[in-house]
A and B are shown apart, each in its own frame.
Chain A
Amino acid sequence: MNARHKQGRILPGFNITFGITVLYLSLMVILPLSMIVLHLASGDTQAALTSLISPRVLHALRLSFSLSLVAAFTNVIFGLLLAWILVRYRFPGRRLIDGVVDLPFALPTAVAGIALTTLYAPNGWLGSLLSLWGIKAAFTPLGIYVALIFVGLPFVVRSVQPVLEDFDSEVEEASLSLGAGRVRTFFAVILPVLWPSLLAGFSMAFARGLGEYGSVVFISGNMPMKTEIVPLLIMNRLEQFDYMGATSLGLLMLVVSFALMFVANVLQARLGERAAGVR
C-alpha cells in the first residue's frame, strides 16, 4: 500500500519516521488503552457492567453529565462574549485578558483546585460574599460547576476567536445598512457563521469537564451521592483496589469522550472546508 505512493516521494526518511511513530504510538497509546477492554474481558464482565447500575454510580453519572453540560453551556455564552470583546474592541488590558484566557490550560489542575477552593470557601474572598445571600459554593455541586467553567473556558474562546477574526464584515455591514438592527444582524448573520466553532468548543469543554479530576477534587468535598463525580468515583474504586469497578466506569467514560472528540473533529473539519471555500 505504501509502494503505490512511493514514486511520488522525493524526501527521505519515510521508513524511519513511520517506524518510530507507529512503534511509539502502539506501545504508549494503543497497548495501554486496550488494557481497559482486556481487563474487563479477563474477569467477570457481566458483574462488572451490572455494577454500573448502582445508586452511587448513577448519581455520579447524572452529576457529571449535568454539571459538565451546564458548565460547557455557560462557557459557550461567556467564551463567545470574551472572544467578541477581544476581537472587536480595543481597550486597555486587552492583551492581558487575551493572555490569561489560556491560564486554565497552563495552570496545573491541583493548583487551580486549591485556589478555587480557597476563593469559594465560606471564609474566602468570594465564598464570604456568596454566604451573605446564604449561598454555599465550596463542597457543593455549585463549586464543581465553578471549577468546570474554569477548565473549559479556553476551549470555547480559542475555537471562536479565529473564526470571528476572519469574519467577512461586508456581510454584516450590508445587513446593517439594509436596516436590520444589531441584534437581528447578530442572530441572522453572525451566529450562523460562528455556530460550528461554538459547538466544537462546547464539545471539547464538555469532554474536558467529564474527565476533570484535579481542579474538582478539592472543591467538591467528595461526598458519595452528593458531590461525587465520575472521575472521583473511579479514583475511589482504585484506592479500594476494585479494578473491575474502576475499569467498567473507565470504559463508559472513554466511549463518551471519544464520541465527543469525534464530533469536535468533524465540526472543525467542516469549519476548515467552509473557510477554504470562502477564500
Chain B
Amino acid sequence: MLARLSLNDGTWGERALRYGLLSAGACFAVLFLLLPLLVVFIEAFSQGLALYIVSISDEEALSAIRLTLVAAFFAVFFNLIFGVAAAWLIARFTFRGRKLLLTLIDTPLAVSPVIAGLIFVLLYGARGPLAPALDALGIKVIFTIGGIVVTTMFVTIPYIARELIPFMMEQGSVEEEAALTLGAKGHQVFRFVTLPNIKWALLYGVILCNSRAMGEFGAVSVVSGHIRGETNTVPLHIEILYNEYKFAAAFAVSSLLALLALGTLLLKAVLERGGHNGLK
C-alpha cells in the first residue's frame, strides 16, 4: 500500500493539487453535510431556551414521542427476531432460493417511502382485500397506530439482517460446529457461541433499525391520517409545526432526532474502531 503522503511532500505542483482537492472536498462537506446539521441546533435555540423546552415537552410533542417510541419498539422487536433468523439461515446454510431471499430482504431499501405507505393502504384500507375480515373483527389499521407500526416494520426490515449476514458469513461456523460435536444443544450453541460473537454487530443493527424507525416520514405520513395527539409521530409533528410557521418549535423537536442521528454515527465510529482492536 502506498504510504499516505503527508500534505507537504513532493513538488510545488503536487502540493498545490493536494491542497486544492482537499479544500474543494472540505468545502463541499461543510456546505452539504455540516451546515444542515448546524442549522438544526441554531434554529432550535433561536427563540431562547424556554421555548425550546416548551416545544419538546408540550402535550402534542409528548404524545408524538410516545407514538414514535411504540412504533420503534415493535419495528425493532419483530425485525430483531426476523433478522437473527434470516442471518442464521442465510449465513449458515446453502440452499436453492437463498439469493432470492437476500433480494427480498433488500427490497424495502429500493421502494420509495411514498410507495411503502401506498401498498399498506391498498392492503389494509377500506377497499382492500382484507377489509371484510378486518371490519368483522372491528379492527382498523389505516389511519391508526396499527398502520404506523406495520409500515415502520416494513421500511426497517433490512437493517438488522443486513448487519448480521455479512458478519456471520465472514466468521464461519467452525466454533459452532465444535460446540455441537462437544454435545451442546442447538439453543445452547446459539446462546453461548453465536450470540457472544455477534453481539456488537447485532447491537449496531438494532441501533440502525431503531434510528430509521424513529425517523421514518414519508411512508408513515401516507398511513397516519395526521390525527393530532393520536396518529402523529415525531417527524409528522415536525411537519405540522413547520407548516404552521412555528419554525423554532419545529427545529426544537427536530434537534431530538438530530441528536439520535449523531448518537448513531458516533456509535458506528466507536464500533468500527473497536473492530480494529479486535473487538469484532
Residues of A participating in the B interface, judged by any CB pair closer than 8 Å: 1-2, 5, 8-14, 16-18, 20-22, 24-25, 28-33, 35-36, 38-39, 78, 81-82, 84-85, 88-91, 93, 95, 97, 99-104, 106-112, 114-116, 118-119, 124-126, 146, 149-150, 153, 169, 172-173, 182, 207, 210-214, 218, 231, 234-235, 238, 243, 246-247, 250, 253-254, 257-258, 260-261, 265
Contact = CB atoms under 8 A, between A and B. Distances in A.
Nearest to B32: A150
A156 B120 CA distance: 31
Nearest to B35: A119
A17 B194 CA distance: 15
A20 B258 CA distance: 34
Contact of B2 (A28, A173, A254, A265): A173
Given A18-B95, A114-B242, 5 more contacts: A2-B96, A78-B25, A84-B25, A213-B217, A243-B127
A198 to B, nearest CB: 16
A231 B250 contact: no
Contacts of B34: 100
Contacts of B154: 28-29, 32
Contact of A16 (B85, B90, B109, B218): B85
A3 to B, nearest CB: 10
A20 B81 contact: yes
Contact of A218 (B6, B214, B242): B242
A100 B2 contact: no
A264 to B, nearest CB: 9
Interface string B202-242: 00000000010011111001100000000000011011001
Contact of A114 (B157, B254, B266): B254
Interface in B241-273: 242, 247, 250-251, 254, 257-258, 261-262, 264-266, 268-269
B22 interface: yes
Contact of B110 (A84, A97, A261): A261
Given A81-B28, A119-B36, A5 B95 contact: yes
Given A16-B85, A119-B39, A108 B235 contact: yes
Contacts of A115: 36-37, 39-40, 43, 251, 254
Which of B117, B118, B177 has the most chain A CB atoms inside 10 A of its CB?
B118
A253 B217 contact: no
Contacts of B24: 81
Contacts of B59: none
A82 B176 contact: no
A113 B236 CA distance: 12
Interface in B76-106: 78, 81-82, 85-86, 88-90, 92-96, 101, 103-106
Contacts of A214: 113, 217-218, 235
B173 interface: yes
B128 A17 contact: no
28 contacts: A14-B93, A14-B95, A25-B101, A25-B157, A31-B123, A32-B122, A81-B25, A84-B21, A89-B22, A100-B29, A103-B36, A106-B262, A106-B265, A108-B214, A108-B257, A110-B236, A111-B40, A111-B261, A115-B251, A146-B32, A182-B17, A210-B112, A211-B113, A213-B114, A234-B112, A243-B121, A250-B114, A250-B115
A85 B265 CA distance: 20
Given A11-B92, A114-B238, A169-B1, A101 B33 contact: yes
B4 interface: yes
A234 B36 contact: no
A142 B254 CA distance: 24
Interface of B: 1-2, 4-7, 14, 17-18, 21-22, 24-26, 28-29, 31-37, 39-40, 43, 78, 81-82, 85-86, 88-90, 92-96, 101, 103-115, 117-123, 125, 127-129, 150, 153-154, 157, 173, 176-177, 180, 186, 189-190, 211, 214-218, 221-222, 235-236, 238-239, 242, 247, 250-251, 254, 257-258, 261-262, 264-266, 268-269
Contacts of A99: 265-266, 268-269
Nearest to B92: A11
Given A172-B2, A211-B111, A213-B114, A89 B36 contact: no
B86 to A, nearest CB: 5
Contacts of B115: 36, 211, 234, 250, 253-254
Contact of B26 (A17, A39, A93): A93
B75 to A, nearest CB: 11
B101 A22 contact: yes
Nearest to B112: A211
A4 B157 CA distance: 30
A91 B29 CA distance: 14
Contact of A108 (B18, B29, B106, B217): B217
Contacts of A78: 25, 28, 32
Shortest beta-carbon contacts, A-B, top 6: A108-B215, A211-B112, A169-B2, A213-B218, A12-B186, A106-B261
A253 B235 contact: no
A231 B112 CA distance: 8
